Amino acid sequence: MRPSDLPEVRDLRLFSTMSDANFASMMQAAYLQTFPNQLDLITEGDPADFLYVVIEGCVELYAQSNGRSATMGIVRPVGTFILAAVLKDAVYLMSARTCDKSKILLIPAENVRSAFENDAAFARAIIVELASCYRGVVKEHKGLKLRSAVERLANRLLRYHDDQGAKGQLELPHDKRRLASMLAMTPENLSRAFKTLKPYGVEVDGGTIHLKDIPALTKLAKPNPLIDDRAT
């Protein structure tokens, strides 16, 4: 199957409004490749040569400085990274590596910029996508600035719980080291935070989390739609 024939890519909000001709032109030199787990895909500071689209698997975006490393985000199917660097013809501000065996579509950055110039609908879709990303970053920043570590964990557990059907338990979608990094915590602080949540009905069994008292956990977490609601 050619990359341009992948229905999940064509249906992606970013590409769905493009004309067929411009989409085909953008995808002309794109290629689909399968990468093994824990493979570095891009390195912060390198020029943005491709726009990446995760078709299968999972990709971790992370950054490093002064001997420290932090997870910046997780990209799952069907999602793109790193659009802003591609559009600006700038260097990557984050590195990326696979979390699992992953199938990824690579679209040459020049083709994306050319499509941006020639396809007004695609340009509008990019603006909306970048605006959504910006608002997501603001929400994450608010969570880090305005909440304690325990509150951040409580709210993240409630989000995962809702995402997985609100059945009183959840499976952590990441290992605990990665979860700690996403919440700006050390693994040791994460362990202590889980213990702090035990009186609120949180029971940990490996990667399975049982929530025995949702009202108590919600009262502690104090979810805020301007931070936690993806629709805002």
> For 173-202, how does the pLDDT look when each residue is reduced to its tens digit (9 = 90+)?
989 999 999 999 999 999 999 999 999 999
| Domains detected in the chain | 3-144 (2.60.120.10), 147-228 (1.10.10.10)
pLDDT for position 10: 87
> For 118-171, how does the pLDDT look when each residue is reduced to its tens digit (9 = 90+)?
999 999 999 999 999 999 999 999 999 999 999 999 999 999 999 999 999 999
Task: Tell how far CA 185 is from the center of its chain.
Answer: 18
Residue 46 has pLDDT above 60, yes or no: yes
The stretch 63-90 carries a mean pLDDT of 94
For the chain, what is the mean pLDDT?
94
Peptide bond into 82 cis (omega under 30): yes
pLDDT band at 6 (very low <50, low <70, confident <90, very high): confident
Q: How many CB atoms lie within 10 A of CB 166?
A: 12
Strand ranges in the chain using DSSP code E only, listed in sequence order: 31-35, 40-42, 50-56, 59-65, 68-75, 79-81, 95-98, 102-108, 169-171, 202-205, 208-211
Indicate if the alpha-carbon torsion angle 43, 125, 127, 76 is positive or negative.
negative
pLDDT band at 1 (very low <50, low <70, confident <90, very high): low
